[in-house]
Chains A and B, each alone.
Chain A
Amino acid sequence: MSVAIFVLAALALMIIGVPIAFALGAASLAYLLWLDVPLLAFVQQLSKGVDSYSLLALPFFILAGELMNHGGITDKILRFTNALVGHVKGGLAHANVISEMIFSGVTGSAVADAAAIGTVQLKAMGDNGYRKEFSVGLISSAMTIGPVIPPSTIMVVYGIAAAVPIGTLFVGGLIPGVLMGIGLMLTIAFMARRGGLPKLRDAFDMRELVVSMREATFALLAPVAIIGGIVGGVFTATEAGAVAVAYCFLVGKYWYRELQWRHVFGAFTNAMMMTATILIIMGMSNSFAWLLAFQQVPAQFAEQLLHISRSPEVILLLLMGMYLVLGCFMEAIAIVVMTIPVVMPVLAQVGVDPVHFGVLLAVNMALGTITPPLGIVMYVICDIAKVPVDFFARSIWPFTISLVVVLILLTLVPSITLALPRWVGLL
């Protein structure tokens, strides 16, 4: 009972505007005092939540994304995807989804992608005659692919919390991420048939495709190098992040020659500041999660859930429903750190593969970034597009439905997620 009170207190503090990390920290400290547990445990768990080499993947991939945008790589990818599908109805919308799938191969965060390319994409779609409602809905939904196609910040956090190899999770996210993209493109195609979305150009231009592809070669190779390096065992997921940084720097600075030194310095401070705000949430959540474990909440939760069913499909569907609701009200990193110790015993008992679950969680948490009232990508896009939350909520539902269908499909058919890791010998 007291656990529920302190969880609700933390939520209430978050809702009135206390920074998420400090709402969790204040609730943890109060709970420790309530339980009469030495408060040194708070500091120990806070440090432990951040003290991990694998976590370095976070600043690395955020930094790689920053360098990619300033180094002209983003523009080259957008030009290539426009040349590829610009001639079909809703061409620019399709191009934005494909671009996001490629960006996702370098960056790992929906928020970073939204902040970096949301402005460019919204303006381009507006200039091309798309309704604002459609543009806002599509661009926000496409951002959810970012945390699923490797690399992924959510998968890094889950991998550490659940002791699952991050490289295997990354490989497992590849097909689901592509499926999310296909789901969105099918929705666009359906809407184009019904509502007549504009084309970017009248006919397919082979010459433009060849030129843009040649120009974008190094940009397109970045995801291949990163994912290939992890799969091939050349480097770990964390080292892949550092390699991605070096790659984006060298290509942007010396090949495209668009990266300025002031951009590089700015990218380093921005990436570290963004990392600090994310990881302090992780540290504080770790204290909270430790308290939940201390109160034996995981065992009680497992008992209650297994009382409902022992079928892996039913358990997974119930958990996905729970996470979709949590994702509407809380920050993804905090949800993962706080709930994984609670959920893992149940998954182990019903025989759910932790890699499968990790990928489902990434899809689910990505959806949480665009669902009102507290989706973080939603706020970034609302800010960029200058639209209110209710306008946003109306605009995303057709795309959200297609993403939820993909999530259900992935939940019920584990082999979609696990086929690739098995094929490359990681499982």
Chain B
Amino acid sequence: MSAPSTNPEAPPSSLVGSFAQLIEWVVGGVLLVIVMLACLQVFMRFVLDRPLSWPEELSTLLLVWAVAFGSFVAVVRQSHLRVDFIAAKVPGLAGDLVNTLSQLCILAVACGMAWYGWAFYSSTAGDTSTTLGYGRNLYYLPIAIAGAAMIPAVLCNLVAVWSRGGAKRGQV
């Protein structure tokens, strides 16, 4: 099983890759904000004795967005947790077919996330959060956006699989 790290065989830098890099920095920044909110909460409750309720709600919303977009970055980098001991050992065309099947599964899920994420976001427009009053459907929007963003990323991965595989087979 591969740990979450950048896959050395991931596609070279491209528009999608640069965008993923930018998003990676943003989600790191979001974690910084979440840590600060949690520390603020502890400080307000135990030092000033004035507990706040909104940081919890905001942190949870930020977490959902960061996870969705972090997941998109991991698709671009091909660094999602996976069991790679069979995939890594299958050579040549069969290996490319296994990789293609893997990418097609991601594509199917990404399409589901994009299409039904948007549908669910649209159908839950009336609900609002308890303390900050934002739309509860903001929890579903990142799923739709991240799913849509994954689609071109998967297509890039597929092109990379076949161009790399074709080149290797051509050399043989």
Residues of A within 8 A of B (CB): 13-23, 25-26, 29, 39-40, 42-44, 46-47, 50-53, 55-56, 59-60, 63, 111, 115, 234-235, 238-239, 241-243, 245-246, 265, 268-269, 271-281, 283-284, 331, 373-376, 378-380, 383, 389
Q: Which residues of A contact B93 (CB under 8 A)?
A: none
Bound together, the chains give a CA A234 to CA B30 distance in angstroms of 25
B143 to chain A, nearest CB (A): 6
Whether the Cβ atoms of B116 and A277 lie closer than 8 Å is no
Q: Which of B64, B73, B99, B102 contacts A50 (CB 8 A)?
A: B64
Residue B81 is within 8 A (CB to CB) of chain A in the complex: yes
Whether the Cβ atoms of B117 and A43 lie closer than 8 Å is yes
Q: Which residues of A contact B108 (CB under 8 A)?
A: 26, 29
Q: Which residues of B contact A56 (CB under 8 A)?
A: 34, 38, 59-60, 63
Whether the Cβ atoms of A273 and B116 lie closer than 8 Å is no
Whether the Cβ atoms of B25 and A272 lie closer than 8 Å is no
For the complex of A and B, 9 pairs with smallest distance between CB atoms? A276-B70, A17-B87, A242-B38, A269-B28, A19-B80, A25-B109, A268-B28, A277-B4, A272-B31
Whether the Cβ atoms of B109 and A17 lie closer than 8 Å is no
Q: Which of B32, B74, B102, B143 contacts A47 (CB 8 A)?
A: B143
Question: Chain A: interface secondary structure?
Answer: helix
Bound together, the chains give a CA A373 to CA B83 distance in angstroms of 9
B6 to chain A, nearest CB (A): 9
Q: Could you list some 27 contacts between A and B, CB below 8 A?
A: A13-B105, A14-B82, A17-B82, A17-B87, A39-B112, A40-B119, A40-B120, A43-B119, A47-B64, A56-B59, A59-B34, A242-B35, A242-B39, A269-B25, A271-B28, A273-B73, A274-B4, A275-B67, A276-B71, A276-B73, A277-B4, A279-B63, A280-B80, A281-B81, A283-B67, A376-B81, A380-B3
Whether the Cβ atoms of A331 and B81 lie closer than 8 Å is yes
Q: Which residues of chain B (130-172) have a CB below 8 Å from chain A?
A: 139-140, 143-144
Q: Which of B32, B38, B98, B99 contacts A268 (CB 8 A)?
A: B32
Q: Which of A238, A373, A379 contacts B3 (CB 8 A)?
A: A379
Bound together, the chains give a CA A18 to CA B107 distance in angstroms of 11
Residues of B within 8 A of A (CB): 1-4, 24-25, 27-32, 34-35, 38-39, 41-42, 46, 56, 59-60, 63-64, 66-71, 73-74, 79-88, 98-99, 101-102, 105-106, 108-109, 112-113, 116-117, 119-120, 123, 139-140, 143-144
A244 to chain B, nearest CB (A): 10
Query: Do A376 and B86 form a contact, CB below 8 Å, given A277-B71, A280-B71?
Result: no
Whether the Cβ atoms of B80 and A43 lie closer than 8 Å is no
Q: Which residues of B contact A246 (CB under 8 A)?
A: 35, 39
Whether the Cβ atoms of A43 and B143 lie closer than 8 Å is yes
Given A17-B86, A22-B80, A55-B63, 6 additional A-B pairs, CB 8 A: A26-B108, A43-B143, A56-B38, A59-B31, A60-B38, A379-B1
Bound together, the chains give a CA A50 to CA B63 distance in angstroms of 8
Query: Do A376 and B105 form a contact, CB below 8 Å, given A51-B64, A243-B42, A272-B70?
Result: no
Bound together, the chains give a CA A376 to CA B73 distance in angstroms of 21
Q: Which residues of B contact A39 (CB under 8 A)?
A: 112, 116
Query: Do A21 and B81 form a contact, CB below 8 Å, given A15-B86, A243-B39?
Result: yes
Residue of A nearest to B38 (CB): A242
A224 to chain B, nearest CB (A): 17
Bound together, the chains give a CA A380 to CA B1 distance in angstroms of 8
Whether the Cβ atoms of B105 and A26 lie closer than 8 Å is yes
Whether the Cβ atoms of B27 and A379 lie closer than 8 Å is no
Whether the Cβ atoms of B31 and A239 lie closer than 8 Å is no
Whether the Cβ atoms of A272 and B28 lie closer than 8 Å is yes
Residue of A nearest to B29 (CB): A268
Whether the Cβ atoms of B80 and A20 lie closer than 8 Å is yes
Bound together, the chains give a CA A289 to CA B41 distance in angstroms of 33
Bound together, the chains give a CA A278 to CA B109 distance in angstroms of 17
A18 to chain B, nearest CB (A): 5
B16 to chain A, nearest CB (A): 16
Whether the Cβ atoms of B35 and A63 lie closer than 8 Å is yes
Q: Which of B38, B46, B71, B98 contacts A238 (CB 8 A)?
A: B38
Q: Which of A17, A239, A375 contacts B99 (CB 8 A)?
A: A17
Q: Which residues of B contact A46 (CB under 8 A)?
A: 113, 143
Bound together, the chains give a CA A274 to CA B74 distance in angstroms of 9
Bound together, the chains give a CA A43 to CA B143 distance in angstroms of 8
A43 to chain B, nearest CB (A): 4
Whether the Cβ atoms of A273 and B24 lie closer than 8 Å is yes
A47 to chain B, nearest CB (A): 5
Whether the Cβ atoms of B109 and A29 lie closer than 8 Å is yes
A156 to chain B, nearest CB (A): 13
Whether the Cβ atoms of A23 and B81 lie closer than 8 Å is no
Bound together, the chains give a CA A54 to CA B117 distance in angstroms of 24
Q: Which of B27, B28, B46, B140 contacts A234 (CB 8 A)?
A: B46
Q: Which residues of A contact B34 (CB under 8 A)?
A: 56, 59
Bound together, the chains give a CA A239 to CA B46 distance in angstroms of 12
Q: Which residues of A contact B64 (CB under 8 A)?
A: 47, 50-51
Bound together, the chains give a CA A23 to CA B84 distance in angstroms of 13
Whether the Cβ atoms of B67 and A276 lie closer than 8 Å is yes
Whether the Cβ atoms of A43 and B116 lie closer than 8 Å is yes
